[in-house]
Amino acid sequence: MTRVWQKLFTTHPARTVVMAFAMVILAGAAVLSLPVSSQDGRATDLVTSLFTSTSAVCVTGLVVVDTGTYWSGFGEGVILALIQVGGFGIMAMASLLALLVSGKLRLRMQLTAQAETKSLGIGDVRRVLLGVAGTTVAVELAIGTALALRFRFGYGESTVDSVYLGFFHAVSAFNNAGFGLHPDSLTRYATDPWVTLPIAAAVILGGLGFPVLLELLRHRRRMRTTGRRGWTLHTKLTLVTTAALLVSGTLFTALLEWGNAATLGPFTWGDKLLESFFYSAMSRTAGFNALDIGAMEASTLLMTCTLMFIGGGSAGTAGGIKVTTFAVLAAAMLAEVRGEPNSTVMSRRLAPHALRQALTVALLGVGLVISATLALLTVIRAPFEDVLFEAVSAFGTVGLSTGITAEFPDSGRLILIMLMFVGRLGPITLVSALALRERTRRYQLPEERPVIG
């Protein structure tokens, strides 16, 4: 039996990731089901507990019960711990999987790191994990302190409540979880840049991915001595695509919702731009909202679905197909339109296997969202755009909702649980599996050109 379990957990890195996160989710659901986790002292049904645990570990933010009013202090602490474990585990394991694929780590090191033990014994693996932990603590401490000060002196909260609110939202934001302690999420702080901007900063930093953050820190020190940047193509793609999506999301949100009396209409032009930027940042990866999403225009919901599907950076806390996947596909399309034989980005030629992997991840994501939307439409009577929005939000582990999450029956909630789980771990494990299975063919088949278009 022991050998069976060892084989199950160590035969493939992707399997290790899936099994580890599944066990954490089940453990979290079991604890949240206990009477001590709810405010009324009653046991929570299994589906609700499983949904909440999955949403926390997969750092999504979709909820079927209000976090601040349903769960007790103990339950909120469990959710916060699941968010932290999910965010740290995802960043650490995804980063180490990337190192394994690039050939810089042996399989034994990778499997040891995936087990998330603290006795790694390997210098490079230890540095990666300590770097993830150090970055996480530093960002969460800085954002949590800023928010706590604002809640204390700007809103008159007690010192204890200010610290709790500040650090809960900081952890939730950096891990891109989107869990809030208010029934209206952050709507009450919609026009307060001292709350929205720090949270947006934490979300963006967490969504860049740890490899990018580590490289930025490393090259900042290098620039002090040499004055040269020397970023890798991955970092450049992530930064440029992230900035482009943030700007385009802000502009489209402002344009589409500027006159909507139920969303941006009542605000001043400055507050409208602030809210548009905040919504653009949240729709990429996090689940906080400061606007009534259910009152938004259908065009805005479609734009948001696009941003949620793309997601954030690789090997980070964000979901979606990832910005680098989107950038690689865009480069391939541009090369085809120009009639060029190779896809190039920033004076670099993209490897053919990278294009195939990007196309595979994107098409599988589309197929999964369409299939899940079709299944959800059979179990709930709701507008199509709302159901599609919910499915994309779950797959992209974003957590935004038009307000219908709690209306789904247990069957619908189980579908959303599957979407959150696959959406968080699917792209990481799929790309790793594809890369590890890559092999060279010693012969070439005859070439044929089917009719396209």
Residue 376 CA, chain-centre distance (Å), reads 22
pTM: 0.87
- Helix (H) or strand (E) holding 362, with range, is helix 352-377
| Paired tokens of 266 | 């009542």
Q: Kindly give the parts of the chain with pLDDT less than 50.
A: 5, 8-9, 103, 107-112, 114-123, 226
What's residue 434's pLDDT? 53
What's residue 117's pLDDT? 31
- The full DSSP string for 290-318 is SS-GGGS-HHHHHHHHHHHHH-S-TTSS-
What's residue 108's pLDDT? 47
What's residue 304's pLDDT? 95
What's residue 86's pLDDT? 86
Ranges of beta strands (E only) in 326-434 are 344-345, 348-349
Listed by start position, the domains of the chain span: 2-436
Distance CA 130, CA 220 (A): 19
